[in-house]
Amino acid sequence: MPITPSTGGELAGWVDGSNMDGWTPLMAGKNGVNISTQSTKGGMNNALQLASIAGHLEIVRVLIKNGAAINVTDEDGDTALSSAAEYGRTDVVAFLIEKGADRDVVSDRGWTPLLRASSNGHTEVVRALLEAGVTVNKQLPDGSGALQLAAGRGHLTVVELLLDSGALMNLVDSAGDSPLIVAARHGQTDAVKFLLEKGAAIDLGAGRVVSR
């Protein structure tokens, strides 16, 4: 179960708090405790994932140094990198990539770190992932790609980064909607203008011709 923004206030308590023996994740890492064990509070999250979500880079460093499994997944197939990307933890993302985290890991629902970061408008995370060579045109089960997700939410800088890195401007989802159509539907004027300037096809969308 992924941690949602509504539970974000509890993260610091989970990462900085202690277990029944008085161990915090940082102490556990330094003392060789099994730090890849899943938590039973709020879902199947582990110490590395919780520290990554909260952006505690030093704890992440200690956990990795002491053997935390970098690609361990929670019950939804999310890894520490997936979660750090979702929450915009750029330093943690960069460190996990450096240490060999799977950059294109796919969750049980089809989300990659790039898709999560693009959807949430985390520009610097997107930049770090692209520089690391992630797959740009990976799509969700419904066919949505990073460009659709970013354009639909008006994340213009992310849209530009994706296009500069080879994102397909006219890639359509399972409904036949291109990034331009998604941006138009959600009222993202700047994204629409930008995509048109870059040459997006106006008459591509929903499997039918859209009036010019």
Question: Per-residue pLDDT tens for 114-170?
Answer: 999 999 999 999 999 999 999 999 999 999 999 999 999 999 999 999 999 999 999
User: What type of residue is 75?
Assistant: E
Closest CA to 194 of 208, 176, 179: 179
Tens digit of pLDDT for each residue in 52-68? 999 999 999 999 999 99
Q: Does residue 97 register a pLDDT over 70? A: yes
- Arithmetic mean of pLDDT over the chain: 84
How far apart CA 151 and CA 74 sit, in angstroms, is: 29
> What sections of the chain are H helices per DSSP?
11-16, 25-30, 47-54, 57-65, 80-86, 90-98, 113-120, 123-131, 146-152, 156-164, 179-185, 189-197
Class of domain 139-212: mainly alpha
| Cα separation values, 33 from 25, 80, 111, 146, 163, Å | 9, 18, 31, 38, 44
How much is the pLDDT for 206?
53
Closest CA to 196 of 167, 171, 169, 161: 169
| Residue whose tokens read 């989300």 | 111
